[in-house]
A and B are shown apart, each in its own frame.
Chain A
C-alpha cells in the first residue's frame, strides 16, 4: 500500500507570491491534516479535513487555506508569502473509521515526507 505522498517535495518562492501544496492520502483514508514545521516554532497544527469539510483549524492567519477533494486528496494554499512561511509542510492521513458517525477506535495518523518551502 502506498504511503502518503506530497508534491512537490521542494519549492522556492519569493515574497508576495502564492503557493499550492498537494497531499495524496493513503488509499481509503478520509482524514487529512496539515502541519507546519519550522526551527523557531516547531511543529504546529494547521488544519484537518474530513469528507471535503474543514473539521479543525489551528491558529494561523487567513493566508493559509486548504481544501479536500472527493477522492480525499488535499491541497493547502498560502497566499502573499512571507519569509517566515519558509518551513517543512507535513501532511498526515488517517482512516477515521466511524460507525453511525461515531469513531469506533483510534486510527493513527500516517505522515508524508513533507514539502520544503523556501521563501526568498
Chain B
C-alpha cells in the first residue's frame, strides 16, 4: 500500500516570503516515483516535477526547489519569493516505478499568497 501525507492543510504567506510544503510518504516498493502537482482555482492539475527514488539530488527550477530525503521518506517543496500567482492547492503524489500512471495523492496543501 502507498500513502502520502501532507500535514499542512493551509499555509498563508505575504508576497516575497518563502514557503515550504512538507510531504512524507510510505511505500513498500523499492523503486518509486514522487511527484508534485499544482491545482490553481481553474481546477486542472499542473505537473511540476517527477523524481525517481534512486535520484536523491535536490532540484531547483526557477523559484521552485525540491528536497528529497529517502532516509526520512520526505519530498519537500519550497517556493522562494512567493507571488500571488502561486496561490493554489499543491499535491504531492507517489507511484510505483512499474506504473507511474497509478498515482497516490496526498490531501493537498492550500497556499494563499497575499499581496
Binding site for B on A (CB under 8 A): 3-4, 31, 33, 35, 42-45, 48, 55-56, 58, 88, 90, 92, 94, 106, 108-114
Inter-chain contact A111/B105, CB cutoff 8 Å: no
Interface residues of B in 34-78 (CB under 8 A from A): 37, 42-47, 50
Inter-chain contact A113/B42, CB cutoff 8 Å: yes
Give the complex CA separation of A108 and B93 in angstroms: 13
Inter-chain contact B105/A43, CB cutoff 8 Å: yes
Q: How far is the CB of B94 from chain A (nearest CB, A)?
A: 11
Q: What is the predominant secondary structure among interface residues of chain A facing chain B?
A: strand
Q: What is the predominant secondary structure among interface residues of chain B facing chain A?
A: loop
Binding site for A on B (CB under 8 A): 37, 42-47, 50, 91, 93, 99-108
Inter-chain contact B42/A43, CB cutoff 8 Å: no
Inter-chain contact B102/A110, CB cutoff 8 Å: no
Q: How far is the CB of B36 from chain A (nearest CB, A)?
A: 12
Give the complex CA separation of A109 and B101 in angstroms: 8
Task: Report which residue of A35, A56, A88, A111 has the largest number of chain B beta carbons within 10 angstroms of its beta carbon.
Answer: A111
Inter-chain contact B102/A112, CB cutoff 8 Å: no
Q: Chain A contacts of B105 at CB under 8 A?
A: 42-44
